[in-house]
Amino acid sequence: MYLLIKNGRVVDPSSGTDETLDVLIKDGRVEAVDKKLEAKGAEVLDATGLIVAPGFMDMHVHLREPGYERKETIATGLAAALAGGFTGVCCMPNTDPVNDSASVTRFILDRARAVSPVRVYPIGAITKESKGEELAPYAELREAGVRALSDDGKPVVKASVMRRAMEYAGSLGLLVIDHCEDPDLAGEGSMHEGTVSVRLGLKGIPAEAEVIPIRRDISLARLTGQRVHIAHVSTRLGVEAIRAAKKKRLPVTAEATPHHFTLTDEAVLGFDTNAKMNPPLRGKDDVDAVIEGLADGTLDAIVTDHAPHAYEEKMVEFDRAPNGIIGLQTAVPLALDRLVKTDRISLKRMVDAFSCAPARLLGLTDKGKIAPGVEADLTLFSLRKETRLKAEDIKSLSKNTPFLGMKLKGAVVAVVIAGRVYPAR
């Protein structure tokens, strides 16, 4: 079984490749990447005018199953991932029950394999039931397939617990991902604290609520010598703290979401609950800082924080609405339109943030690259084709997105997973 992808612009930051090449795939693995390849009887995919990149991985997704199947199921979430150009996702453990055991991890993996070709890497909880007290059984979780840990949605409040988590997880090679928010300082805030919150009379969450725990985690990385990954950085203060830590060669990495590099707190002005997320949409200067952080690699990965919520959950008063938006089907076009088209970041860096960086962070050595011998997971996209997401195109069970109907330059055309082609529909 051969698949030959012809004439695509192969962009693979892991090897520094950026030129028009053919990719030959045999039995699900890359056989060769070169000019003018031929293979008798091969299925041919003409990629003229398209970018061929190593498969995109979203390392921050909420699939909601088990427990919240009204919002999303593993099947619908992965359908959205596939349509959005992702060959792999990491799903956060804040399900019901919380993924703090091998049995929940195995359930997710079994279910995922049964319903979708998209590769799933479940993230285990840092603490039992994500309560912030006792460590979850990391070795058991790793055995079941977990590569990273997080209590996402909640910060690990106690420094002593975070320290132990980093020490223990680090010794097992697991990445600890922290949702950095000082819950006491954030209080009952439901949006960014700034000129918009004061106008709307909504309680605000200051940028400092993010940077205080980021600074703590940086200190703990120094103390333990172990890695920590900062989830969804939204503020200039946060970006600058991480940049300074990286300059000192501390093992700190980070990620940012498309909504934090495209929208500001002004999106809340009409009280649209699809502009409510945590961390909240920040000011213009913060958006610029997030983009600068992605450009210079301070923020390693682009992730969606895909957070489905049912219609009736979001159709409530702003301060009572749950946090989060879906993002799997808009992330790539938003990055192409707002970052690459505008020259804020290079195409190479964009591919790195979506593909190579997540693979590196998770220790997936055969992912995030197009090289002979590795499994053929690819994302094919166009810089010219337009994306305009309509409600009926949404594969997620929930439709909570502020990006509906937005015209974006750039579109996912197809995904290849283990040598099989899945056209984006």
Partner 1 sequence: MNWRHKHLLGIEGLAPEEITLVLDTADKMAEVATRPVKKVPALRAKLVVNLFFENSTRTRSSFEIAEKRLSADTLNFSASTSSVSKGESLVDTILNIERMMPDCYVMRHPSPGAGQLISGFTKASIVNAGDGAHEHPTQALLDAMTIRQRKGGFKGLKVLIAGDIAHSRVVRSNIHLLNTMGAKVTVCGPATLLPPHIESLGVTASTEFEEAIKGKDVVMMLRIQLERQKRGLFPSLMEYYQRYGLTEERLKLAAKDVIVMHPGPMNRGVEIASEVADGPYSVILDQVENGVSVRMAVLYLLLGGGEDVSAH
Taking every pair of Cα atoms in the chain, the longest distance, rounded to a whole number of angstroms, is 68
What's the number of CA atoms in the CB half-sphere (13 Å) around residue 25?
Answer: 23
345, 338 Cβ separation under 8 angstroms: no
Supply the minimum distance, in Å, between the C-beta of residue 314 and partner 1.
11
Handedness of CA 333, 334, 338, 339 (dihedral sign): negative
Does the annotation mark 305 as catalytic? yes
Which residues are near partner 1 by CB under 8 A? 193-195, 197-204, 206, 270-271, 312, 315-320
Q: Which is nearer to partner 1, 45 or 211 (CB)?
A: 211
Q: Residues 305, 337, 352, 377: which is the catalytic one? A: 305
3-class DSSP state for residue 82? helix
Q: How far is residue 409's CA from residue 333's CA, in Å, rounded to a whole number?
A: 7
Supply the minimum distance, in Å, between the C-beta of residue 72 and partner 1.
21
Supply the minimum distance, in Å, between the C-beta of residue 319 and partner 1.
5
Supply the minimum distance, in Å, between the C-beta of residue 291 and partner 1.
23
Q: Which is nearer to partner 1, 44 or 315 (CB)?
A: 315
Q: Which is nearer to partner 1, 164 or 192 (CB)?
A: 192
Q: Which is nearer to partner 1, 108 or 209 (CB)?
A: 209
Supply the minimum distance, in Å, between the C-beta of residue 271 and partner 1.
3
**Which DSSP string do the residues of 22-61 spell out, in sequence order?**
EEEEETTEEEEEESS---TT-EEEE-TT-EEEEPEEEEEE
Supply the minimum distance, in Å, between the C-beta of residue 398 and partner 1.
17
Give, in degrees to the nearest 5, the angle at Cα 94 between 269 and 331: 50
Q: Which residues have CB under 8 Å from 160's CB, separation 6+?
A: none
| Two structure tokens written together for 364 | 């997936």
**Burial classification of residue 39, based on how many CB atoms lie within 10 Å of its CB (0-12 exposed, 13-18 middle, 19 or more buried):** middle
Q: How far is residue 154's CA from residue 326's CA, in Å, rounded to a whole number?
A: 19
Q: Which is nearer to partner 1, 197 or 298 (CB)?
A: 197
**Which DSSP string do the residues of 315-375 spell out, in sequence order?**
SS-GGGSPP----TTTHHHHHIIIIITTTSS-HHHHHIIIIIHHHHHHT-TTSS---TTSB
Q: Which is nearer to partner 1, 44 or 316 (CB)?
A: 316
**Active site positions, annotated:** 305
